[in-house]
Amino acid sequence: MKKRYVYYACMFAIVLACSKEFTQKPAIGALSDEAIQNEQGVELLLVGAYSALDGIRNNQGTDPWQATGDNWWFDVIADDAHKGSTDGDQPDLFSIEVYNWSTANPYFFGRWNGLFAGVNRANAVLDLISKIEEGDFTSQISEARFLRGHYNMELVKIYGNVPYITEENFAAVEFNQPNPGPIWDEIEADLQFAIDNLPDTQADPGKPTSMTARAFKGKAHMLQNELSEAKGLFDAVIGSGDYSLLPEFLDNFRLAGDNSTESIFAIQFTADGGQSLNGNQGGTLNFPNPGPFSSCCGFYQPTQDLANAYQTDAGGLPLLDTFNQSDIDNDYGVNSADAFTPHAGNLDPRIDYTIGRRAIDYNGYGPNIGKDWIRAAFSDISGPYLPKKNVYQAGEDGNVGTGAWGQQHSGINYHIMRYADLLLMRAEIAVEENDLPTALSIVNQIRARARDGSYVQNEAGTANAANYLINEYVSFADQEEARKAVRFERRLELAMEGHRFFDLKRWGVTVDVINTYVQNEARTIENFGQKAGTYMTTMDLLPIPIIAIDLSGGVLTQNPGY
């Protein structure tokens, strides 16, 4: 499907050139409304709806990293990542990191803008099909409604109270709709239609199936804390046999993991040198600067808090209650020319597939040399670590585009949902039902994969790069321990994948967790606590962007607290 995306992207631009607002007669090189009222026209518009998954559209008026579909900068709100780079680069994102929020922040508008572009592209497909008198377009309607359900779910997840835009609104150019509350009923209706009408398999990798739609409707119920409704949907997905964990954790972040058995739904990126605009433009800032391959721009650096979470006890289990009482050894304040010894204590092996640490192999490019690979000064609140999951492995650089200022457009897919994510949500349900054996079994599946897979090796390739020790739980003492274990496992497994902030919101713990993180992080980055403000409950919903309110003529209303 990746190759088809590239081809149709060019054709889609031609289709968009047509607009009855401008002329009754199509411009040279454009297509009339009647010319696209056929199966090919529907497919072209449908690919346009898929292409909005990455948040990027022509003339969008915002930077691609503000609208990005991988939600990376939401990890900066939570305790997984710092903005990275220097404090003064991307000051609007710095303001988000230190909880000094403004309704005019372009990052808030960028994601809003990109998601509504996706809603409107899905509506364009549905509107076009309504004008075609002959043919069966059930499959295309199902895909368009699945995509609209996804885009709207992201909007509600982020902003809470959002308007519902239908294909009828699209046809009548009536986009200024009110936002009285969450639109869960409409989202569920779209996803249920997709469940009922999508096929069990798709010829093109990356297209949703009926089971994909079940997984997403289950997630919609999880976001509403409707656990019993989510349970049956997740059980159907698990029981289908369509998905399984990959033997190697790392393969989820390599080309080998694209459209694998662990991928439930993903943004289909591709790149082949040059600008490669079908690559991940939204993540273009998030490569080491200069790093091992002189990339840009040093953003998205893991926190000390996250690194500490990968510590394990003598039995190979996480330190659920005490992980942040001490920091793993790090090279913050240590120059590359100075001696440094990595942490010698027990660690979960997933740390070194998630966090780039000094003296540990960096994605096959050799040992991380520390400060000289990091753009930020020690006075910036960026810390000593580099991202890894989003950075391609050595040997995969042929699937990456580059640009004039060092930007990288990775062609590796981003998993909007992978099977481990779904399994751990199912474990959450088991905990709340006090079904501890099921929760234990699921968590141990995830931990066994991490234990039995390959570990990062030392430079000589003769031994493990660190003292990796991970094991399964024997049992959970009670429901509270099980709840802690499941939630902790989600962080260890899904860190730096854009989920953490939304998990904390679902659990109702953002204020305690984030403010404690700010306090603890200052042990490593001394001025972090001085720069960061206080996270408040109202921030669980981002503000409705003031530009959106203004453009609506005041139809949209602001979220409480802003």
Residue 361 is predicted with a pLDDT of: 98
Whether 27 shows a pLDDT value over 60: the answer reads no
How many Cα atoms are found within 13 Å in the side-chain-facing hemisphere of 167? 16
Give the pLDDT band (50/70/90) at residue 31: low
Give the pLDDT band (50/70/90) at residue 406: confident
How many Cα atoms are found within 13 Å in the side-chain-facing hemisphere of 434? 1
Residue 2 is predicted with a pLDDT of: 55
Cis preceding-peptide flag for 290 (omega within 30 of 0):
yes
Angle CA(486)–CA(489)–CA(491) in degrees, nearest 5? Answer: 120
The DSSP bridge partners found for residue 84 are 299
Cβ-based neighbour number of residue 454 at 10 Å: 13
Question: How far is residue 338's CA from residue 359's CA, in Å, rounded to a whole number?
Answer: 12
Question: pTM of this prediction?
Answer: 0.94
Question: pLDDT per residue over 171-195, tens digit each?
Answer: 999 999 999 999 999 999 999 999 9
What percent of the chain clears pLDDT 90, i.e. is strictly above it? Answer: 88
Q: For strand 81-84 and strand 299-302, is the pairing parallel, antiparallel, or unpaired?
A: antiparallel
Give the pLDDT band (50/70/90) at residue 157: very high
Residue 375 is predicted with a pLDDT of: 97
Residue 399 is predicted with a pLDDT of: 86
Give the pLDDT band (50/70/90) at residue 393: very high
Residue 83 near residue 93, CB atoms below 8 Å: yes
What radius of gyration do the chain's Cα atoms show?
A: 23
Question: pLDDT per residue over 495-515, tens digit each?
Answer: 999 999 999 999 999 999 999
Residue 537 near residue 511, CB atoms below 8 Å: yes
| Bigger pLDDT: 489 vs 36 | 489
Residue 274 is predicted with a pLDDT of: 81
Residue 29 backbone class (left: φ over 0; alpha: ψ -120 to 50; beta: rest)? left
Residue 320 lies in a domain: no
Residue 505 lies in a domain: yes
Task: Calculate mean pLDDT across residues 114-139.
Answer: 96
Residue 347 lies in a domain: no
Question: How far is residue 160's CA from residue 176's CA, in Å, rounded to a whole number?
Answer: 17
Give the pLDDT band (50/70/90) at residue 9: very low
Question: How far is residue 257's CA from residue 389's CA, in Å, rounded to a whole number?
Answer: 12
DSSP assignment of 410-430, as one string? E-S-EEEEEHHHHHHHHHHHH
Question: How far is residue 424's CA from residue 443's CA, in Å, rounded to a whole number?
Answer: 7
Residues of the domain holding 458: 2-271+415-551
Residue 30 is predicted with a pLDDT of: 55
Instruction: Give burial (CB, 10 Å; 0-12/13-18/19+) of 86.
Output: buried
Buried b (16+ CB within 10 A) or exposed e, 113-129: bbbbbbbbbbbbbbbbb
| Bigger pLDDT: 530 vs 5 | 530
Return the minimum-mean-pLDDT range out of 10-24, 89-103, 246-260, 492-506: 10-24
Instruction: CATH number of the domain at 214, please.
Output: 1.25.40.390
Alpha carbon distances (Å) from 15 to 9, 39, 129, 405: 10, 14, 15, 31
Instruction: Using DSSP, state whether 491 is helix, strand or coil.
Output: helix
Residue 202 lies in a domain: yes
Whether 5 shows a pLDDT value over 50: the answer reads no
Residue 32 is predicted with a pLDDT of: 67
Residue 433 is predicted with a pLDDT of: 98
Average pLDDT of the chain, as a whole number? 93
Give the pLDDT band (50/70/90) at residue 54: very high
Chain center to CA of 386: 17
What tokens were used for 62? 């915002």
Question: pLDDT per residue over 426-440, tens digit each?
Answer: 999 999 999 999 999
Cis preceding-peptide flag for 297 (omega within 30 of 0):
yes
Residue 337 is predicted with a pLDDT of: 98
Question: pLDDT per residue over 536-546, tens digit each?
Answer: 999 999 999 99
Task: Calculate mean pLDDT across residues 240-268.
Answer: 97
Residue 16 is predicted with a pLDDT of: 39
How many structural domains are present in the chain? 1
Chain center to CA of 448: 24
Question: pLDDT per residue over 194-213, tens digit each?
Answer: 999 999 999 999 999 999 99
Residue 182 lies in a domain: yes
Buried b (16+ CB within 10 A) or exposed e, 253-291: bbbebbebebbbbbbbbbbeeeebebbbbbbbbbbbbeb
Question: pLDDT per residue over 73-122, tens digit each?
Answer: 999 999 999 999 999 999 999 999 999 999 999 999 999 999 999 999 99
Residue 349 lies in a domain: no
Residue 28 lies in a domain: yes
Residue 247 lies in a domain: yes
